[in-house]
Chains A and B, each alone.
Chain A
Amino acid sequence: MADTLPIRSSEDIVLVRTAVRKAAIAAKLGLVDQTKLVTAASEIARNTLDYGKGGNVIIERVQAAKPGIRLTFEDRGPGIPNLELALTDGWTSGSGMGLGLSGTRRLMDDFHIASKPGEGTTVIITKWSR
Chain B
Amino acid sequence: MDHIPILRMGEFLLITVQVDMHDRLAINLQDNLTEQIVRYNSRGVLIDISSLDVVDSFIGRMLGNIAAMSRVLDAQTVVVGMQPAVAITLVELGLSLPGIRTALNVERGMQILREETARAMGELPEEPDAQPLGGGFDEAV
Q: Which residues from chain A sit less than 8 Å from chain B, CB to CB?
A: 10-11, 13-14, 17-18, 21, 31-32, 34-36, 38-39, 42-43, 46, 89, 96-97, 99-100, 102-104, 106-107
Contact = CB atoms under 8 A, between A and B. Distances in A.
17 contacts: A17-B20, A32-B84, A35-B53, A35-B85, A36-B92, A39-B55, A39-B56, A39-B89, A42-B54, A42-B58, A43-B57, A43-B93, A99-B57, A99-B93, A102-B94, A103-B57, A106-B94
B17 to A, nearest CB: 13
Contacts of B23: 10
A36 B56 CA distance: 10
Interface residues of B, number: 24
A34 to B, nearest CB: 7
Lowest 5 CB-CB distances: which A-B pairs, in order? Answer: A103-B93, A10-B23, A35-B85, A42-B56, A10-B22
Interface in B7-29: 20-24
Contacts of B92: 36, 103, 106-107
A18 B20 CA distance: 9
Contacts, number: 72
A39 B83 CA distance: 13
Interface of B: 20-24, 53-58, 60-61, 83-86, 88-90, 92-95
Contacts of A36: 88-89, 92
B86 A10 contact: no
Contacts of A35: 53-54, 83, 85-86, 88-89
A100 B57 contact: yes
Contacts of A13: 22
Contacts of B84: 32
A14 B22 contact: yes
A21 to B, nearest CB: 7
Given A35-B85, A43-B93, A102-B94, 19 more contacts: A10-B22, A13-B22, A18-B20, A21-B53, A32-B85, A34-B85, A35-B54, A35-B86, A36-B89, A39-B89, A39-B93, A42-B56, A43-B56, A46-B57, A96-B57, A99-B93, A106-B92, A107-B89, A107-B93
A98 to B, nearest CB: 9
